[in-house]
Amino acid sequence: MTQDMSITALILQASLVVQLVMAGLMVTSLASWTVIFGKLFGLRRVRASNDEFEREFWSGRSLTDLNTAVGQKTNSAPMERIFASGMREFLKLREKRLDSVVQLDGARRAMRASYQREMDVIESHLSFLASVGSVSPYVGLFGTVWGIMHAFVGLSNMTQVTLATVAPGIAEALVATAIGLFAAIPAVVAYNRFARDIDRIAIQLETFIEEFSNILQRNAGQSGATTTYAGQPAGNR
């Protein structure tokens, strides 16, 4: 008698433990793809919004006007929030007529704190992809080992064992490994891609902090409203 060897039939015929492993891996895979698409579009928005603000920052607009415009936005970019935190602290310390070094250090600390908060948000769920990529193959292997063990225990009661009787049980168990790899491979690829993109965003933000600090340094100790123009990036001067 021929047996149905389709994937659906193999899953339905598997033991309860193997079915639970498969179900858990499928749920994990679905959650992984949700994170992948969310992170893909999220990082794309972050890069686009950062680039847009950076162009505006170096367009020659005064820092006072730029700070006012950023404060009126409801959905600002990470670079904008870093800029706003630095400007806010710088202006606060300058109103108190503190030393220029204190003004600059206070602004840098505020921007660094904002930078860490932004990076925590940008890196969110990245550890989940790393866990899925490293753990899923072993979970699938556990299901395979359990399924093969269960299959051989069942075969021990048979007087005559052929390849036709062994194949279904082993095939059912191997499906668990296949599902584990199906969950792990996209997660690993996406993790490597996102980690590289996040490193580029981090470098962009750190470079902005340094260049903005140089601009604030030229204005530290001065009185009155900040009307300095950013001018051109250091690399274009």
Q: What is the mean pLDDT of residues 110-117?
A: 95
CB 63 within 8 A of CB 227: yes
Percent of the chain at pLDDT exceeding 90: 48
The predicted structure's pLDDT at residue 237: 45
Confidence of residue 225 (pLDDT cuts 50, 70, 90): very low
CA atoms within 13 A on the CB side of 84: 16
Classify the C-alpha dihedral 110-113-116-120 as positive or negative.
negative
The model's pLDDT over 37-58, given as tens digits with 9 standing for 90+, comes to 999 999 999 999 999 999 999 9
pLDDT digits (tens, 9 = 90+) for 147-205: 777 777 766 666 665 555 666 667 777 888 888 999 999 999 999 999 999 999 999 99
- Are 25 and 157 spatial neighbours (Cβ–Cβ below 8 Å)? no
Angstrom distance (rounded) from CA 172 to CA 77: 49
Confidence (pTM): 0.80
- What's the chain's average pLDDT? 83
Q: Position of tokens 């792990």?
A: 184
- In 3D space, the residue among 190, 189, 175 whose CA is nearest the CA of residue 140 turns out to be 175
What is the per-residue pLDDT across 68-104, written as a single tens digit (0 to 9) for each?
Answer: 888 888 788 999 999 999 999 998 888 887 788 888 9
Degrees, nearest 5: CA angle 18-179-19: 20
Q: Which helix (H) or strand (E) holds 75?
A: none
Closest among 105, 109, 113, 61 to 221, alpha carbons compared: 105
Average pLDDT value for residue range 106-124: 94
CA distance 13 to 171: 10
Name residue 128's amino acid: F
